[in-house]
Structure 1
Amino acid sequence: MNAPAPVRPPLTLVLASPRGFCAGVDRAIQIVERAIEKFGAPVYVRHEIVHNRHVVDRLKALGAIFIEELSEAPDDRPVVFSAHGVPKSVPAEAKAREMIYLDATCPLVSKVHVEAQKHFNSGREIVLIGHEGHPEVVGTMGQLPEGTVTLIENIDDARAWIPKDPANVAFLTQTTLSVDDTADMVDLLKARFPGIAAPHKEDICYATTNRQDAVKTLAQGTELVLVVGSRNSSNSVRLAEVGLKAGARDARLIDDASGLDWSWFDGVSRVGLTAGASAPEDLVQGVIDAIAARFDVTLENLVEARETVTFKLPRLLTT
């Protein structure tokens, strides 16, 4: 006689929406794919196109070669600049070498670059709220002469910053930060410098904001929040942090289903699931499948916002 199948414990899995790819990430990946189709392999990509190991590995298999500096690419092959943006010196070098290059910088990051240039042209001292060494921060600070932009990473930095002329200052922010943490720093800067020039529209991008809002709601109704994304993905790391701050008993960042630790599920009846803006949906499905193999899963959808934003591809790829 066959032994009866073990009874799977019940579990409610709440899927956050929006989650996963944003318009900027989708565009950047398409640029690499189309460039390989148009010019053949290899196509060189300066820095990881987006911060996700699975995306990078898939593009490598198609013929992308990832490099950290433009000097590693030959003159006669196309090069793509990552979604995070690059210092002005990088396209200038590519032009000087007469290379074919495609800029996959997210248009919302490019908007911050334009703001930086305008403030500089107006003679303002500029602070950038962001994380030191992140490629987006390196790219934004690299739009202007060295030493022009001061980086602020936390509330203590915001409190300590002393400009030459407090009446002529401006601030910018990295697009993938925690909305709440950044708000504290912005409030302090505005209190210290009432005339500080602010972005016309919030620098933190719509996708970051939407995903963080969804996680806050998710955290209120679940005991464990899972975030699919890579550890070097700023927006993914922030999602896990936001989940904990919003009241989740536990929040974990995982690359994919192989990162699941079943001990996290002990005593848990409701699990929230989301994904960072650079994480593919098939990884989310893999996590759902792995959980469903162990539990009797009831799926719920939490829709915080609907995203309809799209960005055009560079003309070089559409003509």
Structure 2
Amino acid sequence: MTGRGELSDGQWERLEPLLPVSNGRCGRWRDHRQVINGILHRIRTGVPWRDLPERFGPWKTAYERHRLWSADGTWERLFQQILAAADAEGGIDWDISVDSTVMRAHQDAAGARRTPLPAPGSTKGAPGPERQDERRWLSPLARLAAGAAGEGLGRSRGGFSTKLHLSADGSCRPLSLVVTPGQRADCTQFEPVMEKIRVPRTGPGRPRRRPDSVSADKAYSSRTIRAYLRRRGIRHVIPEKKDHKNARLRRGSRGGRPPGFDRERHKKRNTVERAINKLKGFRAVAGRYDKRDYVFLGTVTVASLVI
């Protein structure tokens, strides 16, 4: 019998073949199902790691497994493989929507030690022994983020916060995730969100990276974004900002034609809002408690995996 929010037998049967067998350092892993259920319990409830119930085993085992899998891309690979299976069954609606949401950061999320990356071949500025092991397991993207992005924390109107930029398909299923400081403008992260869409094929062929259409709100109304979508041959529905419209009209014929807008298609943009609501049903996503941005991204990825 499983507890609320833990993996069911059917979910475990689907997930177990995808999990790594060896940790590459100390032989085989501790029981995956017990540890993953502990991670899910923490993400769902937002409980501190040290307060995990004893039935999930040592709290540090669950924490270290989550931290390591967030760093080396294991959660991301599992997420992509589950998406691949859904796409093979025709479950993904490729009329996607893009948006962002702000998460308030708890005071415990602050205070991560800043460890800039040293120059290639140099030991100057290298992290201390207690941090070298953690950095060794970072994927290249996570390594870059940890060194240069300030752990994805910033100051917005809501205070100390993190912003999650995401795309979601027509079934409210998250497809790509990007974490930035809370004050970062939505339009600056549109291309990174689109570039992170990557759904592998279950058979031969390259991963699918291009949706059928994209819908977004006025925050994404810019010439740069529209030109990017035209280059990739992606239909889009993005309402024009009022000041952009007035500037175009003032230029007369030189202002060009107004961008096309399908009102009925734009109504489907609520799918990304509903995906955000599903993600924020996990308390460790609705409020950020993780100090490292790559660990928080791993937390959001696990919640997306469950969805």
What TM-score results when the alignment is normalised by the length of structure 2? 0.24
Structure with bigger helix share is 2
Q: TM-score, normalised by structure 1?
A: 0.23
**Higher strand proportion:** 1
